[in-house]
Amino acid sequence: MNSGVVFDIKRFAIHDGPGIRTTIFLKGCPLSCWWCHNPEGISSTPELMYIKRKCIACKTCVANCPSGAITFEGEQLILNRKLCSSCGVCAEMCPTGAIKLVGKQMSTEEILKELNKDILFFNQSQGGVTVSGGEPLMQVKFLKELLERLKHLKVHTAVDTCGYAERSSFELILPYVDLFLYDLKIVDDAKHKKYTGVSNEKIRENLEFLLQSEKSVLIRVPIVPTINDSEKDIEDLMGYLEHIGIKSNIHLLPFHNIS
């Protein structure tokens, strides 16, 4: 049985596929988008998040950290991430919730136990489960096992992906996915590299592969002011979509900077 690193489970999601859904967020992403609204999902391992406005400088974390990774300079918490083992003791002991451990190892069985609470809503709304991230294909063995178990339970499955993964990873999960929510951020490759850190060549190739597989694909384009909203950006996007034969199933997503 595989396990994966999960950083959130969102119930009653209505924007991640049809019906009422539960969205599982897996940690790890190969992109570094300038506008990322889930930065806690970039690292593939559990990590500490510090919320300064909640901190009362009681230093309970310092007293309980087994690695000696936390110190204070005045009322400012200093975390030495080289010493931190992400054990989560400080987060458990923090009285105000100023320290939070983002991400935990979960088995397929543990996740299915959580999802079992929502199956009634899936059935009544024709909803299901969406796996997002981060980039869920970075944990492809765990993802495949989870999706396979969900299909055995006759649950509708969706995968929210940036598309930057090996073709073999898509082939592995393909039989168990009902819908791909596929991000297409910027068509111009040089510009894509600048704002996401990677080429979009693999992303475009994988999109075309999925379209040829006749799986349901919903293309989602985040519109980010000054980055991909120029007239040329829109012309490039429409030209590419026409080239690959897409005339519908496109969602333009408004930008927000809440993270």
Give pLDDT tens digits for 100-127.
999 999 999 999 999 999 999 999 999 9
Residue 177 has pLDDT above 50, yes or no: yes
CA distance 7 to 161: 16
Q: Are residues 77 and 170 in the same domain?
A: no
* 214 pLDDT tier (thresholds 50, 70, 90): confident
Q: Are residues 57 and 172 in the same domain?
A: no
Q: Are residues 175 and 219 in the same domain?
A: yes
Residue 257 has pLDDT above 80, yes or no: no
Report if residue 84 sits inside a domain.
yes
CA distance 96 to 5: 25
Report if residue 183 sits inside a domain.
yes
Report if residue 149 sits inside a domain.
yes
Segment (H or E) for 106: strand 104-107
Count of domains forming the chain: 2
Q: Are 211 and 249 in contact (CB under 8 A)?
A: no
Residue 241 has pLDDT above 90, yes or no: yes
CA distance 79 to 72: 9
Q: Are residues 137 and 112 in the same domain?
A: yes
Segment (H or E) for 102: strand 99-102
Report if residue 63 sits inside a domain.
yes
Report if residue 259 sits inside a domain.
no
Q: Residues 72-99, buried b or exposed e (16+ Cβ, 10 A)?
A: eeeeebebeeeebebebbbbeebeeebb
* Minimum mean pLDDT range among 28-32, 140-144, 230-234, 254-258: 254-258
* 258 pLDDT tier (thresholds 50, 70, 90): low
Q: Are residues 190 and 224 in the same domain?
A: yes
Residue 259 has pLDDT above 60, yes or no: no
Q: What is the mean pLDDT of residues 130-148?
A: 98
Report if residue 159 sits inside a domain.
yes
Q: What is the mean pLDDT of residues 189-212?
A: 98
Q: Are residues 109 and 195 in the same domain?
A: yes
- pLDDT tens figures, 19-45: 999 999 999 999 999 999 888 999 999
Q: What is residue 143's DSSP assignment? A: H
Query: What three-state secondary structure class fits 231?
Result: helix
Q: Are residues 92 and 193 in the same domain?
A: no
- For residue 2, the model assigns a pLDDT of 85
Structure-token pair, residue 93: 């002991």
Task: Tell me the DSSP string of 73-97.
Answer: ETTEEEE-TTT-----HHHHH-SSS
CA distance 104 to 27: 9
CA distances from 91 to 5, 80, 102, 133 (A): 17, 15, 10, 22
Q: Are residues 135 and 154 in the same domain?
A: yes
Q: Are residues 159 and 238 in the same domain?
A: yes
Query: What three-state secondary structure class fits 121?
Result: helix
Q: Are residues 32 and 52 in the same domain?
A: no
CATH of the domain at 26: 3.20.20.70
Q: Are 40 and 49 in contact (CB under 8 A)?
A: yes
Q: Are 227 and 188 in contact (CB under 8 A)?
A: no
Q: Are residues 51 and 175 in the same domain?
A: no
Report if residue 10 sits inside a domain.
yes
- For residue 1, the model assigns a pLDDT of 73
Mean pLDDT, the chain, whole residue set: 95
Q: Are residues 72 and 196 in the same domain?
A: no
Report if residue 228 sits inside a domain.
yes
Backbone angles phi, psi at 226, to 5 degrees: 70, -5
- Boundary of a domain, candidates 77, 101, 125: 101
pTM for this prediction: 0.91
Residue 73: domain span: 47-101
